[in-house]
Amino acid sequence: MMMCLLAASCARHNEPERLPDKGPFTIFACYGITDYLCSQEQYDALAEAGFTIDLPVGLKSIDEMKAALDYARNSGIQVMIGNDDIFDKQTEEIVSALHRHPALYGYFILDEPPYVSLPNIRPTIDAVRKIDTLHPCYVNLFPDCDWTGVKEYADYVEHSVEVLDSKLLSFDKYPIMDGYLWPSWYHDLQVVSDVAKKHDIPFWAFALLSPHWDYPTPTLNHLRLQQYANLCYGAAGIEYYTYCTPRSTDYHLCPIDRQGRKSFLYDLVKEMNSEIHGLSCVFKGSTNHRVRHFGYTGMVERVEPLTTMPEGFLKVDGGGRHGLVSEFDNDGHRFIVFQNCELDDDMMLDVAFEPTMKRILKDRTITPADSYTYPLRLNPGDIAVFMK
């Protein structure tokens, strides 16, 4: 018995120091489980893949919505209700019936409204808030494009917050095209981050899961490139489009096919989400983000260059590859996160730093930064996390 106790004590003593687990990060399946696949089995699979919120699609009655909420509750996740014609026609009836359900996250009001249409959304939001002030109303905004109807993207995002009295910002930008990265993506992230910070509200941002049109089949590197950039700019929630395969013939591959079967993308997004949940200790609740870019940025538009060293660093050299560094605060710690922004190429990241610098690994382990040799190899889209 004494030997067993001694062995257990030694095992605990040898365990590495870790940052506290802050629980799951907010991960939203936009265009989630479809009406004809709605079942406990599908909600269990969604939760197993690391999603925390679902947007079910095609629900035609309050009873169907309640069934989805019940399945989600059993799986330990939540549901965003809306995005269907029935919600627009029966807003007050639906909110009255469902607003006390423990699995309700909020209400999906509209996707991608142009500038001129924003005032038309407010009556629906007011109708919801007359009954339910606890759950947020979600409106997903355009990225910077002609469809916004204004010249400056910041004017569109700012106007949306003022007109809608937004408690949550969301926008979609799928930056990875066939062989290149969309030039304005990082600027869009910066704009949304700045407006969210100004109004003290959270923002969410997307990655694309479904190849269609000129968008390629995603790889793990693609998902990392998008989601880690969203987190580096301060996103409080991450989103994916789409989880289940839409009926449209433009879509042929998603994590779940039209028969409810898993594709290889299911395992891919599950791995990505597992990484993000593991790093919730770094990103969840973080504040005061500043993002700067270094190396060859190519066609990337309107980003802040790295002209002075990040706090605690004496040298940053990515060998000419495009990278970013995000500095932010969380629970009394200063975090410095480097990301390889290259679509296809590894980065050899060479850094020098103060002796007290720590590295945070993806399992929350805290280790002296000088216990590693440099340069570090970063795969496309991947990150290295340091803590001062």
Q: What is the pLDDT of residues 249-276, one digit of tens each?
A: 889 899 999 999 999 999 999 999 999 9
Which residue is associated with the tokens 């910070």? 197
Instruction: Name the one residue in this structure whose structure tokens are 């042929």.
Output: 252
Average pLDDT over residues 206-214: 95
What's the CATH number for 287-387?
2.60.40
Q: What is the pLDDT of residue 9?
A: 45
**According to the model, what pLDDT value does residue 137 have?**
98
Q: How far apart are CA 243 and CA 46, in angstroms?
A: 9
Say whether 373 sits in a helix, a strand or coil.
coil
Could you give the CA distance from residue 173 to residue 152 in angstroms, rounded to a whole number? 16
- pLDDT value, residue 6: 39
Q: 26-283, superfamily in CATH?
A: Glycosidases (3.20.20.80)
Q: Average pLDDT of the chain?
A: 95
Over the stretch 118-134, which tens digit does the pLDDT of each residue have? 999 999 999 999 999 99
Q: 12: pLDDT confidence band, cut at 50, 70 and 90? A: low
Q: What is the pLDDT of residues 173-192, one digit of tens each?
A: 999 998 899 999 999 999 99
Residue 13: per-residue pLDDT: 59
Rounded Cα gap, residues 253 and 243, in angstroms:
10
Residue 70 has a CB neighbour count (10 Å cut-off) of 16
Pairing of strands 366-368, 323-330: unpaired
pLDDT at 85: 79
Q: Which helix (H) or strand (E) holds 358?
A: strand 358-360
Domain boundaries, the chain: 26-283, 287-387
- The pTM (predicted TM-score) of the whole model is 0.95
